Amino acid sequence: MKKEPSPSSSKAASSSSLSSASAVKQQNGKKRKTSPTSKPEKREFYLGTFLVGNAWSTSKGSGYVKPGDTICVERESPDEARPSKSDTKGKGKGKQATLFSMLKPQVKGGAAKKAKANTIVRLTNERGFEFGRLPQDISSWVSKLLDHDIITFKGSTMVECEVPLRTGSDLVVSLSVYIRPSAFKRYEASSSESSTPKFWSNEGAETEHEERLRERKTALRQLFERLDIKPSSGSNADFDEASYTSSKKENVARPTKATPLVNDVDADENEEEILSENELDVIYKRAQANDAAMDEMEPSSEFALTLRPYQKQALHWMYSRETGAASARASHSLHPLWAEYMFPPNPSNGLIDLTVDEIPFYYNTHSGELSLDFPRAENLCKGGILAYVYLLPCLYEILGMGKTIMVSSLIQTNRNYTEEELAGPSADQRQNKKKQLKLDAAFRPIKSKQTSRRSRATLIVAPASLLDQWCSELQRSSKKGSLNAFVWHGQNRDDLETMVDTNDVSDVVITSYGTLAAEHARLEKSSKNVPIFDIEWFRVVLDEAHNCKSRTSKTAKAVFDLKAGRRWALTGTPIVNRLEDLYSLLKFLDFTPWSEHSFFRSIVTLPFLNHEPKAIEVVQVILESVLLRREKSMRDKDGKKIVDLPSKEVVVEELQFTSLERSIYDSLYRVAKTKFDSLTASGMVGKRYTHILAMLMRLRRAVLHPSLVLEKNENEQRSTENIDVNELIKQFDANTENGQNESYAQTVIEGLQEDEECPICFYVMEEPMIIPECFHKSCKDCILTYLLKLSEKGEDGHCPTCRQGPVAEDQLLEVVRDRQRLRQTSVGIEPERQPNEEGQSNGVGFTIRKNDFKSSTKLNALVQNLRRLQDQDPCFRAVVFSQFTSFLDLIEIALQRENLEWYRLDGSTEIKKRHQAIAEFNKPSRKPKIFMLSLKAGGVGLNLTAANHVFMMDCWWNSAIEQQAIDRVHRIGQEKTVFVKHFIIAETIEGRILQIQKRKAAIVKEAFKGQGSTDSESLENLKIMFEE
């Protein structure tokens, strides 16, 4: 059962009422009979007075009542005995019957029903004679309040009536409302049904008890409205209570409606709105308001690195969260479900005593509870969310905040269970109980050993690509021998139990979400113990915790079943698109009451869907206590930026298609546009949405390289192997009988090692091509241009030097040099001729291959940029991103041809290889290295700060994704200026993508998820795509 951080112990209520009761209490002795059950020391608070103009008389004659008379308000029917005159307060028979109908079957059903409908509220004179009744619209809720023992009426007066009375005539009465002490009792305590969940449960229909709670709440709300009582301060002050009662709010007020929805949330998740940037901003603002003033904490001496001030703050916060020390971040927030009200001064005797302090009281707008104590927003879970990234574009400066370091320092600093914990039942046993209740023990054979073994190890769950990085980072940040971490992942994972158990030497176990989900499947299938879920971890840390944002996913379920005393979720995006995203994290953290989905949904999700500001506010308060958010642009208490990263220069290089590429692209575009136009005309865009997306995808490929869209009918056998130089010479000799040529071919090949001039452009040949027939050379561009010119004239290709032919483009031999030495850009007309440095191993310094690889504008641009880079910095490191692995394939060939050392990581790369690749790439070396990444696989987690050049080969719909990718390089640890280059082809779809990116980046991402969604935003985006 959920424990609601809640208000009032009745003890507190009574003590506070004792302290200041006397002033108000004096003057109401007279009407005591309406409320004789209340003990005198329990104070009744004046709440306000309201006029009822349409009460009506039930009697005839004079002497019963006249204007100015004091009147009483009673509830029970005159036919029934008035056992004590007392009882307006409440044990209204009808209600009683309802309440206990289940327990007391002897009460006739019919009577109960009738009683339920009874809302009669009687007006009596001081002698107890009934002379009239309240009108139905008032009595409907007044009766409830009286029944629930919440209010009483004292000092009410008859304002106007006919004398003598006539039956049915109008009465105008003034009613003064006092709130009874019993109202502040915890409501469920009085009920025998206390095992029923207090909040709208996920167990199905509303119980009687819940119905009563709801009645009470509705009645209270109407009372507040009638008395014009508004929330006075606290987080709810700016929240319009009046609107709360309006129909808009009904969804919150009608949890019965919400309950059935809970079971099939996924079905209607699509309807949920995506948070706008502003909303997210607002949400987070609160969560970090106090951060600058937070205390700092030194890490344990075992920790090998030095923390920055903001990291020390974070450590302090995390440590406090774990040890349960007083809130590191002062939490003065009112619990989100509560609103604060002030008791109005009691006007009795016509005097208002201004010296009396205003007394606040609190009203739970969700449950209808009342309290005199300040209901503080708090939580019981040990752990929290470490958000290190902003979620939406524009503000993306945030990755690389050193979350690994933070976790490492926390592991080092807080390693032991508190004595209290060791003494008491493990946190986990408590949890177990709860789980058993929920998960229905019948379905799961009870495990032999119910007491799970407690480990002092921390379990880290991370995406597979990051496992090794975690491991090495943890080692790096710890003094030697002080921390044992191992990766538990892959096919041959060892017996976790023995590893963790036997000698208890492991401090950290690192595993992947995939492994966890697989283990969980094992758990669900068999009755066997599955160690990872059996061990109670000292601490569980989820890296990239948004991996389990969908609470119904296997991963999420597995994560929820982990046992641990301390829980942390690290994520760049606690809320990806929807407030619901947050739920899984709260669930993992076991952050009650929010970890109950139905509760979360009715308090947060549904109100948000109804555009209620309250929802955002609730989330704010939740986050305030549980989330520490770090972003690069945040400043510490001295106003310094908490992270000082080197600057980043972003350049967009606009390229022009070659005419061939242009014609290919244009024809594709025309087809797509025609299709789109006809679909628009017939209103079918929505239905064929995915089809259009596919066409767009083709266009985006066409921009990169024509062969990505062309039919692969020709044999695409590209030679990736180099041609043996000696073999080539031999071949040439065989073809020419002239003995002289033997040395000639040799000379030609040898000459390649020098900077030779192209006979056509007179430049030193950057990429010499050899014409196989005659061994004449030319640079690539020149010979290709010449051959093209000849073919335009309808002539066969031939060598420009000796006219030998025919020469075909793909027969040319390409010479790829090892770009080893610093090339001096020749400024003068006469280039300095330098002998090439000795090529390494093969002693040749170049390789020769057939020119059967067709490049593209973008590819050429990349290659040229890389060459330039190499000239400037012979050992540069660059990262190349594309979202198309097929394009990466082509880039791979291009880099190979350039003889550049490259590494590649995409979705299909094995974990081990990923690790290797990253390690190799980061290794210092005199050679340039290039890392190719698919945008999706490489967008998160990786640390590639060795590089400081980034090339984005294509643009993504959502610039935030691109930004995350760039931040692989531009993050803590980066010491140089980061240069980012986007390649964009002019007058293509890419320009429009940029346009959309700018237009509304957050929405776009959603719009193009392509689930057949047809909201206007995505259609709008499509129109941009095909605009003229």
Which residues here bind other proteins, judged by CB under 8 A? 759-763, 776, 778, 782, 785-786, 789, 800-801, 803, 829-830
d(CA 550, CA 547): 8
Question: What's the closest the beta carbon of residue 848 comes to other proteins, in angstroms?
Answer: 21
The residue (of 494 and 830) whose beta carbon lies closer to other proteins is: 830
- Cα 389-394-400 angle, rounded to 5 deg: 25
d(CA 989, CA 665): 10
Residues in Cβ contact with 759 at an 8 Å cutoff, skipping those fewer than 6 apart: 776, 777, 778, 800, 801
Longest Cα–Cα distance of the chain, Å, equals 145
Whether 147 and 222 have beta carbons less than 8 Å apart is answered as no
Whether 733 and 745 have beta carbons less than 8 Å apart is answered as yes
Question: What's the closest the beta carbon of residue 788 comes to other proteins, in angstroms?
Answer: 10
Question: What's the closest the beta carbon of residue 757 comes to other proteins, in angstroms?
Answer: 8
The residue (of 229 and 748) whose beta carbon lies closer to other proteins is: 748
Question: What's the closest the beta carbon of residue 987 comes to other proteins, in angstroms?
Answer: 23
The residue (of 776 and 970) whose beta carbon lies closer to other proteins is: 776
Question: What's the closest the beta carbon of residue 979 comes to other proteins, in angstroms?
Answer: 27
d(CA 223, CA 229): 8
**Which whole-number Å values give the CA distances from 72 to 32, 61, 88, 154, 157, in the listed order?**
10, 19, 9, 7, 8
DSSP calls for 304-360: -SPPPHHHHHHHHHHHHHHHTPSPSS---PBPTTEEEEEPPPP-GGG---TTSPP-E
Beta-sheet strand order (sheet of 370-371):
338-342, 360-364, 370-371
The residue (of 125 and 778) whose beta carbon lies closer to other proteins is: 778
Question: What's the closest the beta carbon of residue 931 comes to other proteins, in angstroms?
Answer: 35
**Which whole-number Å values give the CA distances from 700 to 406, 652, 704, 1021, in the listed order?**
40, 17, 7, 15
The angle, 0 to 180 degrees and rounded to 10, between the axes of the packed helices 1016-1026 and 689-704 is 40
The residue (of 169 and 801) whose beta carbon lies closer to other proteins is: 801
Q: What is the DSSP letter of 303?
A: B
The residue (of 623 and 774) whose beta carbon lies closer to other proteins is: 774
Q: Which amino acid is at 377?
A: A
Question: What's the closest the beta carbon of residue 759 comes to other proteins, in angstroms?
Answer: 4
The residue (of 278 and 826) whose beta carbon lies closer to other proteins is: 826
Whether 468 and 487 have beta carbons less than 8 Å apart is answered as yes
Q: What are the DSSP E strand ranges found in 656-712?
A: none
Whether 133 and 77 have beta carbons less than 8 Å apart is answered as no
d(CA 384, CA 317): 10
Question: What's the closest the beta carbon of residue 778 comes to other proteins, in angstroms?
Answer: 8
d(CA 169, CA 153): 22
The residue (of 229 and 815) whose beta carbon lies closer to other proteins is: 815
The residue (of 766 and 1017) whose beta carbon lies closer to other proteins is: 766
CA dihedral defined by 326, 329, 331, 332, rounded to 10 degrees?
A: 120
Whether 94 and 75 have beta carbons less than 8 Å apart is answered as no
DSSP calls for 42-95: S--EEEEEEEEEEEEE---BSSS--TT-EEEEE-S-TTS--SSTTGGGS--HHH
Question: What's the closest the beta carbon of residue 802 comes to other proteins, in angstroms?
Answer: 8
| CA 16 centroid distance within chain | 42
The residue (of 762 and 920) whose beta carbon lies closer to other proteins is: 762
Question: Over the range 290-317, which residues count as b (16 or more CB within 10 Å of their CB) and which as e?
Answer: ebeebebbebbebbbbebbebbbbbbbb
In this structure, the strands spanning 877-882 and 949-952 are parallel
Question: What's the closest the beta carbon of residue 737 comes to other proteins, in angstroms?
Answer: 25
The residue (of 439 and 761) whose beta carbon lies closer to other proteins is: 761
Residue carrying the six token digits 């009451």: 593
The residue (of 776 and 968) whose beta carbon lies closer to other proteins is: 776
Residues in Cβ contact with 132 at an 8 Å cutoff, skipping those fewer than 6 apart: 55, 56, 57, 58, 59, 65, 122, 123, 165, 171
Q: Which amino acid is at 686?
A: G
Question: What's the closest the beta carbon of residue 859 comes to other proteins, in angstroms?
Answer: 24
Question: What's the closest the beta carbon of residue 782 comes to other proteins, in angstroms?
Answer: 7
Question: What's the closest the beta carbon of residue 761 comes to other proteins, in angstroms?
Answer: 5
Question: What's the closest the beta carbon of residue 751 comes to other proteins, in angstroms?
Answer: 16
Question: What's the closest the beta carbon of residue 816 comes to other proteins, in angstroms?
Answer: 23
The residue (of 342 and 760) whose beta carbon lies closer to other proteins is: 760
Question: What's the closest the beta carbon of residue 858 comes to other proteins, in angstroms?
Answer: 25
Whether 536 and 454 have beta carbons less than 8 Å apart is answered as yes
Question: What's the closest the beta carbon of residue 882 comes to other proteins, in angstroms?
Answer: 34
- Ramachandran region of residue 858, left (φ > 0), alpha (ψ -120 to 50) or beta? alpha
Whether 1001 and 958 have beta carbons less than 8 Å apart is answered as yes
The residue (of 523 and 774) whose beta carbon lies closer to other proteins is: 774
The residue (of 578 and 776) whose beta carbon lies closer to other proteins is: 776
The residue (of 351 and 829) whose beta carbon lies closer to other proteins is: 829
The residue (of 253 and 765) whose beta carbon lies closer to other proteins is: 765
d(CA 979, CA 21): 71
Residues in Cβ contact with 1017 at an 8 Å cutoff, skipping those fewer than 6 apart: 1000, 1003, 1004, 1006, 1007
Grouping H, G, I as helix, E, B as strand and the rest as coil, residue 233 is strand
Question: What's the closest the beta carbon of residue 785 comes to other proteins, in angstroms?
Answer: 6
In this structure, the strands spanning 151-153 and 156-160 are unpaired
The residue (of 359 and 760) whose beta carbon lies closer to other proteins is: 760
